[in-house]
Amino acid sequence: MSVALIWIVIGILLLISELLLTSVVAVFIGVGAIITGLLLHWEIINEISTQFAVFGISSAVLLVLARGKLKALFKGYTADNDPSKPNFQRDIGARVKVVKTFQHGAGRVVLNGVQWDAFSEDDLQEGDTAWVIANEGIQLTVRKERQITSTKD
């Protein structure tokens, strides 16, 4: 196996690893390795010190110039996000779907696509809709009726 092919294979493996890592860093290191492998294959560079210099410089330049733009493309979107509240308080008042019938006050609900253990004083059956009234970290407290909060002075 030629040294050029080794650089290219390493670059491809780094690109693939970016699918598992979402830091958007390995892709630039991988592209730097592929650039080095191609330059070596085309016999533009030969010495090992030049290979590492090209690899380091091309990876760093790509990282500095393109990472912010590329990472912005992969940002998620959340509706009704209130940054003034801590994460656990944002869920209060949210509508949830019961996925496991409540027995002795305990059951399971789905909130934002994730199943949660939940407690309720109400009789809730699988398929019912409920409303979050409290979030105790990994457990929710829900109620069958939506709580209307008054804004009177």
Side-chain half-sphere of 94: how many Cα atoms within 13 Å? 22
Please give the class, per CATH, of domain 88-143: mainly beta
Q: What pLDDT is stored for residue 153 in this prediction?
A: 46
Q: Domain locations in the chain?
A: 3-73, 88-143
User: Positive or negative, the Cα torsion across 78, 81, 85, 90?
Assistant: negative
Lowest mean pLDDT of 35-49, 55-69, 137-151, name the range. 137-151
Helix intervals (H) in 42-116? 48-73, 87-90
Instruction: Yes or no: say if 82 and 90 are a contact pair by the CB < 8 Å rule.
Output: yes
Rounded to whole angstroms, the Cα distance separating 98 from 133 reads 14
pTM: 0.48
Which helix (H) or strand (E) element contains residue 139? strand 139-143
Q: Give 103-134 pLDDT, tens digit per residue.
A: 999 999 998 888 999 999 999 999 999 999 98
Q: What pLDDT is stored for residue 25 in this prediction?
A: 84
Q: Which residues are paired to 110 by β-bridges?
A: 97, 115
Instruction: Yes or no: say if 121 and 105 are a contact pair by the CB < 8 Å rule.
Output: yes
Q: What pLDDT is stored for residue 74 in this prediction?
A: 61
